[in-house]
Amino acid sequence: MWVSSVWRATLSPGRRAHSALAQLRGVVEGELEGIRGAGTWKSERVITSRQGPCIRVDGISGEILNFCANNYLGLSSHPEVIQAGVQALEEFGAGLSSTRFICGTQSIHKNLEAKIAHFHQREDAILYPSCFDANAGLFEALLTPEDAVLSDELNHASIIDGIRLCKAHKYRYRHLDMADLEAKLQEAQKHRLRLVATDGAFSMDGDIAPLQEICRLAARYGALVFVDECHATGFLGPTGRGTDELLGVMDQVTIINSTLGKALGGASGGYTTGPEPLVSLLRQRSRPYLFSNSLPPAVVGCASKALDLLMGSNTIVQSMAAKTQRWHRSWASSPGSTTFCYP
């Protein structure tokens, strides 16, 4: 060991750097082999067309059906959404080259935040580069060691990571298990604030959180309710407001985080909407908000138009529901044989 240490000390800086790089390569290659061996290697398909129900993919001739995008309402390629993005690009530029609080807030950012709050029937809203950032920025800014957060065990990775960043006491309840949530709420009564955190629609299995029961328990035990609506905003509920509208508890959910990168145009961006004092606190303390560039104007323009389309008419939402019912009927009558592309 002593000889090895002396030998390493005598290496030139260049050779030591080369040795460190070789060590890194060995470690990383071992990790990659482990991923391949576990069958969890992820390959990226290269799309050569716009996003849509039918797409072109590099290496495959003709169009193929696309059932794996989160473009739930087809707005990623909607002509009015695209035109709104082009107009915002021409009027407000490619980007802000700044964070929001320095010189990165334009009128379109404030207008979109107001529109989001109005859409969700909340007091205020704050934009983030993504909903992952919104989840990373919420819990740490809001909760302290005096507080507690109670999280469904199958919540999205971004919720889990966001909760890890905060110093609150952490409770994990079994998936959709209201008896276990109640037991955890009873245990958490000794803390100042209690925040129940759940996905509205769980993206992997399609489960819908029992928000009526969650809100009932929250009221009984003096807790707040947080819902991540990324896989619900725009298409669940009679007018696309999400799972809280679907289940009739819009006035009982305290905080909503969601995305602009799925149903609402599909570009990028996320947000938190809720009480005005909370949003003001996030503008002062939420690190992903304070230290990230503002959303590009084109993205803001596209998302704003997507919301206009939803709030102007529920035709798009109803069309989505009709297509879903059509698929269910076709699948039930002939499982595995239904192959058609929605217009």
pLDDT in tens, 183-237: 999 999 999 999 999 999 999 889 999 999 999 999 999 999 999 999 999 999 9
Encoding tokens for residue 85?
A: 């993005």
Across the range 266-275, mean pLDDT stands at 96
Cα gap 329→339, rounded to integer Å:
13
206 closest CA partner among 55, 43, 72: 72
Q: Which residue of the set 203, 319, 323, 330 is catalytic?
A: 203
Check whether 343 has a pLDDT greater than 50.
no
Check whether 7 has a pLDDT greater than 50.
no
Residue 231 designated active-site: yes
Question: Could you tell me the pLDDT band of residue 4, with boundaries at 50, 70 and 90?
Answer: low
Least confident of 70-74, 120-124, 278-282: 70-74
Question: Could you tell me the pLDDT band of residue 336, with boundaries at 50, 70 and 90?
Answer: low
Residue 169 designated active-site: no
Instruction: Tell me what pLDDT residue 324 has.
Output: 82
Instruction: Tell me what pLDDT residue 329 has.
Output: 85
Q: Which residue of the set 78, 120, 156, 262 is catalytic?
A: 262
Instruction: Tell me what pLDDT residue 159 has.
Output: 98
Taking all residues of the chain, what is their mean pLDDT, rounded to a whole number?
Answer: 93
Task: Compute, in degrees rounded to 10, the torsion defined by CA atoms 86, 133, 260, 156.
Answer: 150
Encoding tokens for residue 240?
A: 């696309």
- Global confidence as pTM: 0.90
74 contacts: CB under 8 Å, gap ≥ 6 = 52, 53
* pLDDT tens readout for residues 294-307: 999 999 999 999 99
Check whether 2 has a pLDDT greater than 90.
no
Angle between helices 297-312 and 315-333 (to 10 degrees): 80
Instruction: Tell me what pLDDT residue 320 has.
Output: 83
Instruction: Tell me what pLDDT residue 341 has.
Output: 45
Q: Is 247 exposed, middle or buried (0-12, 13-18, 19+ CB in 10 A)?
A: buried
Residue 262 designated active-site: yes
Q: Which residue of the set 184, 191, 231, 305 is catalytic?
A: 231
Across the range 158-168, mean pLDDT stands at 98
